[in-house]
Structure 1
Amino acid sequence: MNIIPRISLIIYLKHMKHERQIRKFGHIVSTNRQDRFVVMYINEAEADDVVNKLMKLKYVKHVEGSPYKYLKKTYEKEQHEIM
């Protein structure tokens, strides 16, 4: 079984009624109706094509990649823990 690398996109919409049309581009994980954004997972290999297609849609305001990939995941001990 191969695990396909995926990335998370945060897509800001003009109206939430367009959420249904966005579903064909990937797997929607979360939506926020108040701030009008959708969090979606897509395959990493197709990421550039999908982002370009999303930006061409007139109801999409902005597309961001999730910063999780670039966060530091190893932690050092704090000074108060060493003593």
Structure 2
Amino acid sequence: MNIISRTSLIIYLKHMKHERQIRKFGHIVATNKQKKYVVLYVNEADADDVVNKLMKLKYVRNIDGSPYKYLKKVYEKEKHELS
């Protein structure tokens, strides 16, 4: 069984009525109507192609990638905690 790595994209829209058109690019996980954004999961291998296609759309304002892969995941004890 192969696990496909996925990444999330935060897509800011001009109007939330365009949320339906975004569905064909990936799996929508969350939306926020006040701030007008959609959180979309896509395969990590296809992420660059999806971002290029989305940026060409008139109703997309901005796209942010997930910061998860840049976060520190392994924590070590600090020097003051060892005593």
Distance 2:67 2:22 in 1: 21
CA drift of 1:76 comes to 2.2
Q: Does 1:45 align with 2:71?
A: no
Q: Which residue does 2:61 correspond to in 1?
A: 61
CA drift of 1:79 comes to 5.5
CA drift of 1:75 comes to 1.4
Aligned-residue identity in percent = 78
Q: Which amino acid aligns with 2:42?
A: I
Distance 1:39 1:80 in 2: 39
Distance 1:33 1:77 in 2: 41
Distance 1:6 1:65 in 2: 12
CA drift of 1:78 comes to 4.3
Q: Aligned with 1:74: secondary structure?
A: coil
Structure 2: 5+ residue runs without aligned partners?
none
Distance 1:19 1:80 in 2: 49
Structure 1: 5+ residue runs without aligned partners?
none
Scaled by the length of structure 2, the TM-score of the pair is: 0.92
Q: Which residue does 1:10 correspond to in 2?
A: 10
